[in-house]
Amino acid sequence: MYLTAFFFPDEERETDFLFDLKTTYDQSLYPFRVLPRTGLREIRFRPVTILYGGNGSGKSTVLNVIAEKLRLARESAFNRTRFYQRYVDLCSFTQEETIPAGSRIITSDDVFDMMLDIRAVNEGIERKRAELAEAYFALRREHFQVSGLADMEHLHRVNRARAQTMSRFIEEESGQTLRERSNGESALLFFQAKMETDTLCLLDEPENSLSPENQLALADFLQEAVRYCGNQLVISTHSPFLLAIPGARIIDLDNGAQVTERWTQLKNIRVYRDFFRKHADAFDDAD
C-alpha cells in the first residue's frame, strides 16, 4: 500500500471557490461540478480499488485528478481546462509510503495509440513486402555480371532470389511482421511493459479492445502484479472479469459512491446474469 486515502472538495467548498472567482458554471470550469453529483467525497484505498459506473459517471475524471495531484507519469493528453489545476489544488491525500518513482496512469487512449503505431508499422512492412515481391521477380530475370568486388553483395542477392521461394526470400529480407500478434495480445504486452514492479498504477478502462478471454488474462496478470510484484492498483472498469478480482474495494459511482465488495450486486452484472438466464436453453442446446 502506498496511497491510503484521497479527498475531493465537496459541493459547498466548490461553490465557495467558484463564488470567489465571481464566475458562473460553464464547460470551461471542468472538473468542477462533476463529482458532487456522484456523492464522492473521499476514497479509502486497498491494494486493489475499483471505480465502477456508467459512461459519464466521472470514473476517468477521478483517475485523472488523482494522477495530477500525485504527479504520476502519463502519456496521452486529457481534458485539462484552465481551471483544472485549481481544482487539483483543493484535493488532498494521505499515504502509507512515498509514492514510488515509476508510478503512472495508463488509459485506454494509451493502448489505442499503441495499436495505431503498430498499424502504421505493419502498413510500412506490408509496403516493403510488396516492393520485395517485385524485386524478387526482377532479380530472378536479371542477367547480372560481376565487374568488381563492389558487385558481390548484389550477386549474392540475385543468387538468393534464384535459389529461394518468394516467401522465403521476402521473409529473410523483411523480417517478422508485427501483425502476428492480435490487438488483444499486443494490449496485454503493453500493460506488462508499462507497469513497473513496486509502483502505484492507475488504469482507466484497461479492458477496452480486449476480448473476454483476454480480459480474463488481464485480470490474472493484475492479481499477480499485486500479490507478487508489490503493485497497488486503482482501476476504472465495466468489466465483470476485473470487478471479480478477489478482495477489491468497489466504489459504485452510479449509486451515491457506495462502497461494496460484492461485485455480483452491481446493476450491470445483474443485467448480464438475467440475459444469460433468459437464454439458458440456447446454451443447453449448444452443449
Q: Beginning with the edge strand found earlier in the chain, give each strand of the sheet holding 258-260 in spatial order.
A: 104-107, 200-204, 232-236, 48-52, 249-252, 258-260
Quote the pLDDT of residue 180: 47
> Is there a contact between 247 and 223 (Cβ–Cβ < 8 Å)?
no
| Band of residue 68 on the pLDDT scale cut at 50, 70, 90 | very high
Residue 26 scores a pLDDT above 60: no
Q: In terms of DSSP bridges, do strands 48-52 and 92-95 run parallel, antiparallel, or are they unpaired?
A: unpaired
State percent of the chain over pLDDT 70.
80
Quote the pLDDT of residue 171: 66
pLDDT tens track for 90-105: 999 999 999 999 999 9
- Domain boundaries defined on the chain: 3-110+184-286, 112-180
Fold of the 3-110+184-286 domain? Rossmann fold (3.40.50)
Q: Which three cell numbers stand for residue 190?
A: 503493453
Say which residue, 246 or 121, is predicted with more confidence. 246
Burial code (b: 16+ CB inside 10 Å, e: under 16) for 171-197 equals eebeeeeeeeeebbebbbebbeebbbe
Return d(Cα 49, Cα 53) in angstroms, integer: 13
| Band of residue 287 on the pLDDT scale cut at 50, 70, 90 | low
pLDDT tens track for 38-61: 889 999 999 999 999 888 888 989
Q: Which three cell numbers stand for residue 152?
A: 558481390
Collect all residues with Cβ–Cβ distance below 8 Å to 215 and sequence separation of at least 6: 207, 239, 241, 242
Q: Which three cell numbers stand for residue 142?
A: 536479371
Say which residue, 36 or 77, is predicted with more confidence. 36
* Mean pLDDT score, 227-247: 94
* Mean pLDDT score, 252-279: 90
State percent of the chain over pLDDT 90.
36
- pTM here? 0.75
pLDDT tens track for 158-191: 787 788 776 666 666 665 544 445 565 777 778 8
> Is there a contact between 8 and 40 (Cβ–Cβ < 8 Å)?
yes
Taken in order 56, 260, 102, 66, the sign of the CA dihedral is positive
Return d(Cα 179, Cα 121) in angstroms, integer: 9
| Band of residue 192 on the pLDDT scale cut at 50, 70, 90 | confident
> Is there a contact between 30 and 84 (Cβ–Cβ < 8 Å)?
yes
**Cα-based distances in Å from 33 to 12, 27, 58:** 11, 10, 10
How big is the chain by its Cα radius of gyration, in Å? Answer: 26
Q: What is the dihedral of CA 266, 235, 261, 33, to 10 degrees?
A: -70
